[in-house]
Structure 1
Amino acid sequence: MNQSISRFQDVHVHASAVREWNQTYSQISAGPLESALMQLDSSRCHVFREQINRRVVQHGEAPKDKVCFAIPIAVPGAIRVQGREADDNTIFVLRGGEEFMFHMPMGMDMLSITFERELFETALERTPWAGEIRTLLRQPVIRLPEQRLADRRNQLLGVFSDALCCSDQEGAQELALEEVMLNGMLQLLSDPSCDRAQRQSSSVHSFIVDKCHRLTLSDVTNAPSVIDLCQRLQISRRTVQNSFRTVAETTPLNYLRSVRLNGVRRELMSTQACDLSIGDAATNWGFYHMSHFAAEYHELFGELPSQTKRADRNIRKTAP
């Protein structure tokens, strides 16, 4: 069994270290970033716990042929998953290959568990109400009984922590970890007090934020202004402002600028200085005034663009 405990000072390095996930993390709140990532994975199950001290938006695709769960441990601010409001009495579900958008507040602490689809489906068929549970799992956010979820969360965290402390996890121990994680999730979903008919629609606020996010990324060299976005979506500036405050706890200007600054940072970190200048990377993401760009970059990440570590010579240039 593979196991690792890592600490990072950059959200992009953190994101790339999460095994099997095709995703980008963008730091939204300003200041030096500190994060921790603890991982265990077997042939059929991947468990990881991540803690990040800054607000982050995660955007990507869940691993194919998997069933993915996340259990919040600490939720210190507004959180949205696939446009749904969530808190520490909910779990999150993603199906393999599904695109996702996750707005993570500052100080978020979360345990994620990914199963091979075949393993999960086989076990699910042995539970009561398999059909109802399968329908419930189409919901990205599922609310569960508070005490049952708290008890199960503590159990799974304990098992995960104990497994991380063992230097040799093979054979029977690996199967035991898979069984505990699988049974823990299925027991939650099979609990008679779980409302398997629950439905939660995506909020208008989340739709607006995610739409603005995507429109900004669709043409980053000519990134739309907030006024442009209001006109395209045919909504008022106040509505846009309120949506970003509700979902991301910041202004639309700060959020969308931060997303583009993260794009520049990813380009700088994935290329050598001889292949791409800081000025060209900034221009690629719609920043044309270098002094303003450098100041905004420093404010968000706590370092100047010239201080960002570039790719090693043996790493080939990758597309932004």
Structure 2
Amino acid sequence: MTIALHHCEDITEHARRLDGWQQEYDQLEEGHFSGDIVDIAGREMRLFRESVNLGLSQSIHFPETQWHLVLPTHGPSDGLFPADALTVLPRCEQFWSVAPGRYDLLVLSIDRHRYGWLERDERRLRTLAVPAPLLASVRQQWRGMTDYLLAAQAQGGPPSRLQAVLSRQLEEGVALLLDDCSRSLRLDPACYRTRRYIVDRCQALTRERPDDPPSLMALCRRLKISRRTLQYSFQAETGQSPVHYLRALRLNAVRRSLLREPSQRIADAAAQQGFFHQSYFGREYRRLFREAPSTTLNRALGQESRGGRHAP
């Protein structure tokens, strides 16, 4: 068993911290980002807890050799993952979701040769009905484990002799949740409704021409929908207007570019995402990330000079 704990003040670095998961996160809420990951990996299963302070958009490619099940650490939840059930993530090329601010999730990964009945409708987002007392008990146990590990980090890390205890507790929790193969898998239509498709297509069309992103009216014409439908779809699926959401994606792309290539000019990085008015760009960048573009660039230059820069 291996145990890894990560605290990140940078959303791009945070997205890279889960070994084997290909992720890209875009910050949607204004403020300084802060995120924590507790990662407990055994031979055939893995439990990690991810918590962040700000709302974000997630584009994820999961390891294909495992099932992935999500359980919020507390309820009620108003996002994609209900607090009263286990959510089974779909088998797909890329999974997209919007996570609210201050979210805190437990994610269980299990080798695919176990619990073969989870294959039913495996390319759909599904929920697994588990009796409420049992679900609450396992959630409390796993949250307690990860809380302990976070607290122990400040004292130099947990003693190695605890690994056997953690492994046993993880196995027991998985058995309680999944050994009853009669549990019903319910398809969740939320991921496939029209308004989610609209948001997904608008993101793709905007990224096709980052230097000349389509206007809202152009998006409406391309998708053959009204402005009202566009507005409602974004508000329902992301909690933001299409203008704010799509602009945030472009600002995040500039930030990743500055971190990846700190030798470039800020104006060039901004122009590649369609920001040509520098005072407007600087104002919106500071509003979202609570720092100037030059601060991001200087930090990246400092990491490069110390030989600590990582490729996103």
* Range of TM-score over shorter length: 0.7 to 0.9
* Letter in structure 2 aligned against 1:195: S
The size of the alignment, in residue pairs, is: 298
Give, in whole Å, the separation in 2 of the partners of 1:302 and 1:146: 41
Give, in whole Å, the separation in 1 of the partners of 2:243 and 2:249: 10
Which of 285, 296, 303 is equivalent to 1:297? 285
Which of 92, 97, 102 is equivalent to 1:107? 102
Contact between 1:74 and 1:108, CA under 8 Å: does it hold in 2?
A: no
Q: In the TM superposition, what is the alpha-carbon distance from 1:58 to its structure 2 partner?
A: 0.6
Residues 149 and 170 of structure 1: is their aligned pair in 2 closer, same or farther, counting only changes over 3 Å? closer
Structure 2 counterparts to residues 144-293 of structure 1, below 5 A:
144=129, 145-161=131-147, 165=152, 166-168=158-160, 172-173=164-165, 175-176=167-168, 179-187=171-179, 190=180, 194-196=183-185, 198-201=186-189, 202-272=192-262, 274=263, 276-293=264-281
SS at match of 1:220: coil
* Letter in structure 2 aligned against 1:109: D
* Letter in structure 2 aligned against 1:240: L
Contact between 1:42 and 1:174, CA under 8 Å: does it hold in 2?
A: no
* Letter in structure 1 aligned against 2:120: T
TM-score norm. by structure 2 comes to 0.85
TM-score norm. by structure 1 comes to 0.83
SS at match of 1:221: coil
The C-alpha deviation readout for 1:134-161, integer Å capped at 9, x for no partner, is 3165442305244432233223333444
Give, in whole Å, the separation in 1 of the partners of 2:309 and 2:290: 27
The C-alpha deviation readout for 1:25-57, integer Å capped at 9, x for no partner, is 111111222222222223433321111121111
Q: In the TM superposition, what is the alpha-carbon distance from 1:262 to its structure 2 partner?
A: 0.7
The C-alpha deviation readout for 1:269-309, integer Å capped at 9, x for no partner, is 1222x2x1111111111211111111000000000100112
Percent identity among equivalent residues? 29
The CA RMSD measured in Å over matched residues stands at 2.6
Residues 182 and 150 of structure 1: is their aligned pair in 2 closer, same or farther, counting only changes over 3 Å? closer
What residue in structure 2 maps to residue 59 of structure 1? 59
Which of 103, 106, 119 is equivalent to 1:134? 119
